[in-house]
A and B are shown apart, each in its own frame.
Chain A
Amino acid sequence: MSKSIIVIIAFISIWFLLPSCKTCNNYVVTKEYIENSCKFESPFYVEEIKVDSLDTNGIPVKYEVTRKVSAGLKEQNLKPARKIYFYENTQNYDWLDINNTSVHDTLPIDMSPGNWYLIRGLKTDFTTSAKKIFIHVTDSGEFKTYHPRIITNW
């Protein structure tokens, strides 16, 4: 059997197996934490945004970033976690307020009713930092998340 046929069979077999494998693409966001099946080895960013317009699915299209912070390992050699809490300490992680370059134990942004927030820089199996999740805390305090389609090349 030639090498090319082996490569073809291996490639298609692996692709078929992919959906059944554990992937790093599914993020769960609640008002308390963000969780992923893979560990948060790289920093991600939480932004406070002022939304100007929404698309037909209610996802922000045009917005202005008013504040940005990053969450990441305090030191690169520390053990990463699968769940990062917003307002409680997460072992080995800290939050950097990029606007004033200050370090905090918890998210220094208060997610309050009537406002939008954006989590970005999330890794998936195929992209380094393309995934983003919008959060809307409604006037009534309801916590809603939106996962927009990301336009990327291949």
Chain B
Amino acid sequence: MYGKIGQITKSGGGILDYRYAASGQRVSKAFTPPGEATKTTWYLREPSGNVLATISDKRIPVYESDGMTVAYYDVDLLSATDYYPFGMQMPGRVFNSGGYRFGFGGYEKDNEVSGNGNSYTTTYRHYDPRIGRFKSRDPKAGQFPWWTPYQYAGNRPIDGIDLEGAEYITYLVRIYDGGSGAAVIDKIDYRDAENFNYKAYSESFGPEGRGVKFIYQYVNDAGTVVKTREEWDVRQEGMTNRLGRHGLFMGAGAVTTVGPLYDIIKSGAGNTYDWSQSPIDGVDAAAKKHDLAHDAIDNYQGWLEDSRTLASDRELVEDFDAYYNEHKAPWWKLYTTGAVRGIDKYTGREASDEALFAAKSGSIFFGMVNRYKEWKIGQLESMGLDPYAAENQGAVSIDDYKGKWYQFRRNAEYKVLKSAAEATE
């Protein structure tokens, strides 16, 4: 689920374009060799992520009996596989026209180990689908004492997939050809569950803190690394940043593809958010859903001033409140009587302090945002303007929301929202 990027420009020419579903699984790969037409491969999956078939974008005509008229087009099937629940390929129900290496759970096959389709490599371990077990211990085994450390997906292969975790990451990105090409060449992610207090934090993080670090290597024409620079994306440091940000999606902006430099490579064109990244926990997942809804709005006018975001903002408050209420535990009991919080389905652990704080504070903050947007919509309507038209969003702004001194709540909300808006401008 990690390290996926939208595009790779190869130094020798050619562009690879990848598309992913919101869950992070690859939907298509398009390769455009220099001076040639694009060849696209589509991945057909079942909900748990297993690749059932791959097809190309080539259309195979099937003719009428006259041999001239095309009746319909058939797909160009590259591979097709049916699986038993734990991933073993069904004998006689496997077809691969050549070279497709991925299968059950989206993992890469290691056919040299135990024969075709009998061993998969995942980020950390090898998996044998014939026995439904990994071949080495789970690095997060300490969190799941009720399972064998060799289990797959909690022994529930039908409704579960083995989450590879969601933690903070360091990417090594190489910049080629005067900035025109970039490729992720390595990544390190920190998921050593034994080295952090999971009641405080949703996810483990590396020695340098919370966020996603990008190390850029600039390579000249001779192939020499001339300069190395380090940058962070969605870093959670300092009082205000920790207050306003959580995980990869909650806070102004979201994790970007190839990091801060992406915007430079692309010269600001298009969306830079990396929706293929998994959220770090349930709160981050709610934020990701919310951000995706914002991202789908044409001519988007920003998180505060675009009235068309009200529905998704309301949903976010509901999601945050639901998370908080479903996972909280009385804090005085937590450390005295051994009470436990609800299990976060993304981390498989009790909800953390930071997740509960983020849910509560996010609910409060977007409660203010929503009251402002409801007011703004009313104002636009009273002016005879369509409150949901992009071009009308500038007719009323947060500055118009400032209340009189005795309107304590509105004045307070104005101050908070204005401050947050200015920080992102």
**Which A residues are closer than 8 A to B by beta carbons?**
3-4, 7-8, 11-12, 14-16, 18-19, 21, 23, 25, 42-43, 45, 47, 64-65, 68, 70, 72, 76, 94, 96, 98-103, 120-121, 124-131, 147-154
In the complex, chain A residues whose CB is within 8 Å of the CB of B328: 3-4
Per the CB 8 Å criterion, the residue count for chain B at the interface is 65
Residues of chain B within 8 A (CB-CB) of A125 are 238, 240-241, 244, 423
Of B175, B234, B360, the residue contacting A8 (CB under 8 A) is B360
Question: A4: which B residues are within 8 A, CB to CB?
Answer: 324, 328, 360
Tell me if B229 and A126 are in contact (CB < 8 A).
Answer: no
Residue of B at shortest CB range from A71?
A: B229
A42 to B254, CA, bound (A): 18
Nearest-Cβ distance from residue A24 to partner chain B, whole angstroms: 8
Report the minimum CB–CB distance from B283 to chain A (whole Å): 14
Q: Are B238 and A153 in contact (CB under 8 A)?
A: no
Interface residues of chain B, those whose CB is within 8 Å of chain A, are: 175, 178-179, 211, 218-221, 226-227, 229-235, 238-241, 243-245, 250-254, 256, 260-261, 263-264, 267-268, 273, 290-291, 294-295, 300-304, 324, 328, 330-331, 357, 360-361, 364-365, 369, 412, 415-416, 419-420, 422-425
- A147 and B227 alpha carbons, distance in the complex (Å): 30
Contacts A7-B357, A154-B303; A96 near B227 (Cβ below 8 A): yes
Q: Are B231 and A43 in contact (CB under 8 A)?
A: yes
The 5 closest A-B pairs by CB, nearest first: A129-B260, A154-B303, A98-B179, A101-B220, A126-B252
Which residue of A is nearest B334, CB measured? A3
**CA of A98 to CA of B182 in the docked complex: distance in angstroms?**
12
| A120 adjacent to B264 (CB under 8 Å) | yes
Chain A residues with CB under 8 A of B268: 120
Q: A102-B226, A120-B264 are in contact. List 5 more A-B contacts (CB 8 A).
A: A103-B227, A127-B252, A130-B253, A154-B251, A154-B303
- Complex: A45 Cα to B229 Cα, angstroms: 12
A-B contact pairs, 23 of them (CB 8 A): A4-B360, A7-B360, A16-B415, A19-B415, A25-B422, A42-B231, A70-B229, A72-B229, A98-B218, A101-B219, A101-B227, A102-B220, A103-B226, A125-B241, A126-B244, A147-B425, A150-B425, A152-B252, A152-B303, A153-B254, A153-B273, A153-B291, A154-B291
